[in-house]
């Protein structure tokens, strides 16, 4: 392999590690663990699915802030409070959790399996 191939390989590996490694401050939790937090008024619950998905099936106290609008609505959230994020499968909520972390939120929980795992 020449040097360019090695550099390319290192960049690809770094990208994959960055993409799939857990981010400090973001915890994956089960549906039951999310339900257990419902009683705590110091927790914010965000559903990042589209309004149509949310309307078809949602759980209180989750508030609908679609992933595409999260940047515009960030000022509605309290950085001092914990945030529980959910979507349909857990992928969009993982993106939302990383975004919130970059915005200065400290305690972020992503519901594993999303609404698909809700019983």
Q: Residues 7-49: pLDDT tens digits? A: 988 888 887 776 666 667 799 999 999 999 999 989 999 999 9
68 is catalytic: no
Which secondary structure element, helix H or strand E, spans residue 93, and what is its range? helix 91-102
Domains within the chain, CATH numbers bracketed? 25-117 (3.40.250.10)
- By the 8 A CB rule, do 88 and 114 touch? yes
Backbone angles phi and psi of 84, in degrees to 5: -110, 125
Mapped onto helix, strand or coil, the DSSP state of residue 22 is coil
Examine the pLDDT at 109 and tell me if it is beyond 90: yes
Give the model's pLDDT for residue 20: 64
Q: Which residue in 31, 34, 87, 108 is the catalytic one?
A: 87
Q: Does a cis peptide bond (omega within 30 degrees of 0) precede residue 61?
A: yes
46-83 pLDDT tens trace: 999 999 999 999 999 999 999 999 999 999 999 999 99
Distance CA 75, CA 89 (A): 26
Give the model's pLDDT for residue 36: 95
Q: What number of other Cβ atoms are within 10 A of residue 26's Cβ?
A: 21
Q: 118 pLDDT band (50/70/90 cuts)?
A: confident
């Amino acid at each position: 392999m020449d040097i360019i191939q090695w550099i390319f390989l290192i960049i690809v590996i770094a990208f994959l590690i960055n993409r799939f490694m857990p981010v400090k401050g973001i915890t994956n939790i089960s549906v039951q663990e999310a339900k257990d937090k419902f009683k705590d008024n110091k927790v914010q619950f965000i559903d990042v699915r589209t309004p149509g998905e949310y309307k078809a099936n949602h759980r209180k106290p989750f508030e609908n802030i679609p992933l595409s609008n999260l940047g515009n609505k960030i000022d509605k959230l309290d950085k001092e409070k914990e945030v529980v994020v959910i979507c349909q499968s857990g992928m969009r909520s993982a993106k939302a959790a990383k975004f919130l972390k970059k915005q200065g939120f400290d305690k972020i929980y992503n519901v594993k399996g999303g609404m698909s795992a809700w019983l």
